Amino acid sequence: MPENENTPTQIINAPLDEYLTICISFLNEIGIKTKFEKPDEPCFLPGLSIRNGTIIIDREALIYPGDILHEAGHIAIVPAAERAALTASAIEKREQREAEEMMAIAWSYAACVHLGLDPYVVFHDEGYQGGGGYIADNFNNKSYFGLPMLQWKGMAVKEKNARALSTAPYPHMIKWMMD
């Protein structure tokens, strides 16, 4: 391979520190904790887990830094009183897990827009059972599934309701964390 070409692994890992810095700084600002260590349970997403409301990051195993924002979405949309007990395995058992998954997806898209990140960083082709690009395309075309639940929880509003509430419409978030 010529010297100036990158291998796929180098391309994937090239912006890792930059994305980590951007994402973790934002998460710290809104009150989501992160910790660098090896998870003590199997990870659904490579190199990431949630333990007691904290995102656990295994830098050696992390492949897609945008996945951090998706995991943060799961934490952000859970009521504050339940957050400290949240784990990766508990998310799978939550009564409203499907609705919460859609909310976490919508939340993470809004986070990308807020941070100026390309949504394909979170919605990559290896995620969402190969449908990450499809999700990003839909959100980029203002087909925002998950938004009705964010609106119901008072975290964001649809465009048609924004003016009446004197706020910007989604993907702007009224609040990043559920009360």
Task: Specify the pLDDT at position 10.
Answer: 35
Task: Specify the pLDDT at position 1.
Answer: 31
Q: Report d(CA 37, CA 91) in Å as an integer.
A: 20
Nearest to 172 by CA among 120, 99, 109: 109
- The answer to whether 167 and 158 are in contact (CB under 8 A) is no
Task: Specify the pLDDT at position 14.
Answer: 45
Task: Specify the pLDDT at position 164.
Answer: 87
* Residue 176 burial class via C-beta count within 10 angstroms: exposed 0-12, middle 13-18, buried 19 and up: buried
Q: What strand order describes the sheet that includes 33-36?
A: 33-36, 54-57, 48-51
Residues of the chain with pLDDT under 50: 1-14
DSSP-derived secondary structure letter, 130: G
Task: Specify the pLDDT at position 3.
Answer: 36
Task: Specify the pLDDT at position 44.
Answer: 78
Start-end of H helices in 31-131: 67-76, 80-83, 88-93, 97-115
Domain-wise residue ranges, the chain:
8-162
pTM of model > 0.85: yes
Task: Specify the pLDDT at position 150.
Answer: 98
